[in-house]
Structures are given as structure tokens and as C-alpha cells.
Amino acid sequence: MTSSKISDNNNIPYRRRLKAKLAITSLFKFSLVDVYTQIMKAAYSLVTIVLILVAGFVGYYVAKNNLTPEVITQTKTTEAPKAQTIFTTQTATIQGTISKVDGNKLSVTNLKQENGQFTVSDKVVIYKFRSGSTQASASSDLKTIETGQQVLLNLELANGAYQVVSISYLPTAR
């Protein structure tokens, strides 16, 4: 029996230590993983706050020093583009109506209701369909230009500006 008392006596301090350890762990009901998780959440929150502050300071600095980018506005013009040197000629086509004739200047409205003014070339050819005919007759007399009818204008770039070289009146449906 003495040997069992000795072994029981040896276990008493171990049991006390185990009970003390359990009591301490129950007071702090979290593990190292929980501690790490809480530290990482705090770090993410801190990083978020720092980034917001940095963005605020940068925005304040840009606004204070008026470093906003310039807005480039584009205006729509009817000015003809410049000729490129590689081409012999450059041509354009407009389908629409002639709204006004002023000497050798034509005011034209295309199918998208955009307006433009063009000079008529000295070599202009005007094609008109006669009633009942399927062939167009050609003329170069500017007095035969009619307004308000559907036309197809062919333009050619000469001296940096487009000039009307042919006017084709489209046949009307019967």
C-alpha cells in the first residue's frame, strides 16, 4: 500500500496544476488562432483607414493646386479636311437636298439633316432625268440647279476645299 500512496501523492501536484491550467484557459476562452484572427482584422481596418486618409489628402492637394485635367472639346465643322500628298485626288459623296443656290455656292442638307456649304466647280456636270425617261441628260448650266429635290453630289478636293463636280438628281418613283 505504501507504493500506491506514493504514486497518489506524486499525482496530487499534477492534478492541482491541471486544474489551475483548466481554470486559466476557461478564463481566456480563445486560442492563438482567435488571437491571430483578431489582430488581422484590426490590421485590415487600420490599412483601410490609412488608404482613405491618403486618398482624401491627395484629393485635397489636387483640388487646392487646381491640377484637374483639361477637357478637350471637339466642335463639329463643315470645313474640308486637308489633302494628303500621296493621293492624286480625294473625293466625297453626299446624298441629300440642295436648300439654297447663291452664285456658285450650294447649301446642302444631307440625309442626317446636317448642313454644309460647297463651291461648285467650273467643270460641274448636272444630270437630270426627264419625265418618262430612264436616261439622264447632262448639263453644265448652273441655272438648271433645282432646290428641294433629292440629289447625289460628287465632290473633289481641290486647293484644300471640296468642290462639287457633279450633281445627279435622283429619279422620282412613279
Q: What is the pLDDT of residues 11-32, one digit of tens each?
A: 667 777 777 766 666 555 666 6
Q: C-alpha angle 140/143/147, rounded to 5°?
A: 110
User: For 24-149, where are the E strands, in sequence order?
Assistant: 91-102, 105-110, 115-129, 136-139
Average pLDDT over residues 133-153: 82
> What percent of the chain has a predicted confidence (pLDDT) above 90?
25
Higher pLDDT, residue 167 or 83: 167
Query: How far apart are the C-alpha atoms of 167 and 98, rounded to whole Å?
Result: 10
pLDDT at res. 4: 47
Question: Which residue pairs, CB below 8 angstroms and at least 24 apart, start in 113-122?
Answer: 114/78, 115/78, 116/78, 117/78, 118/153, 118/155, 118/162, 118/163, 118/164, 119/161, 119/163, 119/164, 120/163, 120/164, 121/156, 121/158, 121/163, 121/164, 121/165
